[in-house]
């Protein structure tokens, strides 16, 4: 479920929202480093600065979710999204996944606005990514059949490690992490699925899981090792940079 076996074209086709978000990450990062772009303008205009938000620049409640402070920050957040976003996008569908991701990020940024000083500034998709963890937690509590025991253990372990690292690492927006997680959990707990939606989602998930399992069985050990290394570096990123 959290191992990617698709080629690049299939990944974009199966997970369009995840692909679009990662593309935005990369484009905005390049705009902040390429010499022929007004790079400081992007940082100054799209970062989350509480004082400017209070003065009416409300787009800063959304845009920080797509901005990052450096290459490693952008890389590890994007890898996190590649690992944990696709399964949830297949469960929810592109539109609902986009709503969950954006609303979780918005909740994290609003909480940052009201709980941090006016001089506080921030960038990064950590709040939205923690929102995905929160939604998975809601699935684990309320829709247990959607996840296998192994995948449930993976989510719980990573969520616990990420929360612990949130409080241990410096320069982490703790407020965004906690409220992003809470926001995602609340969105997942809302009983907005009717029986037909639930049945369709389960059939889609079962079909996708079957294709993934079949594709994984055909993959070489090299690709398995490759994704193992990706997961390892993601965990290292959690520990050193935070989400």
User: From the first residue on, what is the mean pLDDT of each consecutive set of 10 residues in the chain (243 residues)?
Assistant: 83 95 94 78 91 96 94 91 93 94 96 95 94 92 83 86 81 91 91 52 53 49 47 49 42
Q: How do the domains of the chain map onto residue ranges?
A: 8-241
Q: What pLDDT, on a 0 to 100 scale, did the predictor assign at position 5? A: 82
Q: What pLDDT, on a 0 to 100 scale, did the predictor assign at position 207? A: 57
Q: What pLDDT, on a 0 to 100 scale, did the predictor assign at position 233? A: 47
Q: What pLDDT, on a 0 to 100 scale, did the predictor assign at position 206? A: 55
Candidates 19, 80, 121, 126; catalytic one: 126
Contact 73, 131 (CB under 8 A): no
Q: Could you give the C-alpha distances from 63 to 58, 67, 104, 124, 197, in angstroms and in order?
A: 9, 7, 13, 9, 31
Contact 243, 77 (CB under 8 A): yes
CATH of domain 8-241: 1.20.1540.10
First to last CA, the chain: 21
Q: What pLDDT, on a 0 to 100 scale, did the predictor assign at position 163? A: 84
Q: Among this protein's residues, is 126 annotated catalytic?
A: yes
Residues 6+ apart with CB under 8 A from 92: 100, 201
Phi, psi dihedral angles at 5 (to 5 degrees): -115, 0
Q: What pLDDT, on a 0 to 100 scale, did the predictor assign at position 19? A: 96
pTM: 0.77
SS3 call for 74: helix
Q: How would you class 130 by CB atoms within 10 Å of its CB: exposed for 0-12, middle for 13-18, buried for 19 or more?
A: buried
Candidates 80, 162, 177, 201; catalytic one: 177
Q: What pLDDT, on a 0 to 100 scale, did the predictor assign at position 210? A: 56
Locate 236 and state its tokens.
Answer: 């290292």
């Amino acid at each position: 479920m959290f191992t990617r076996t698709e080629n690049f074209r299939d990944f974009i086709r199966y997970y369009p929202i995840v692909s679009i978000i990662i593309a935005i990450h990369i484009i905005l990062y390049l705009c902040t480093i390429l010499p022929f772009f007004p790079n400081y303008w992007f940082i100054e205009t799209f970062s989350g600065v509480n004082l400017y938000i209070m003065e009416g620049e409300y787009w800063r409640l959304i845009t920080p979710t797509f901005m990052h402070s450096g290459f490693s920050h952008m890389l590890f957040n994007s890898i996190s999204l590649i690992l944990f976003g696709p399964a949830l996008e297949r469960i929810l569908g592109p539109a609902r996944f986009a709503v969950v991701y954006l609303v979780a990020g918005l909740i994290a940024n609003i909480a940052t606005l009201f709980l941090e000083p006016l001089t506080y500034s921030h960038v990064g998709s950590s709040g939205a990514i923690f929102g995905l963890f929160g939604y998975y937690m809601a699935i684990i509590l309320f829709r247990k059949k959607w996840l296998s025991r192994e995948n449930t253990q993976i989510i719980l372990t990573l969520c616990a490690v990420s929360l612990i690292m949130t409080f241990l690492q410096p320069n982490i927006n703790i407020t965004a992490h906690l409220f992003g997680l809470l926001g995602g959990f609340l969105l997942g707990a809302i009983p907005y699925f009717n029986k037909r939606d639930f049945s369709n989602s389960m059939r889609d998930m079962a079909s996708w899981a079957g294709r993934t399992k079949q594709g994984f069985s055909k993959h070489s050990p090299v690709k398995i090792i490759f994704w193992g290394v990706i997961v390892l570096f993601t965990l290292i990123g959690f520990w050193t940079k935070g989400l």
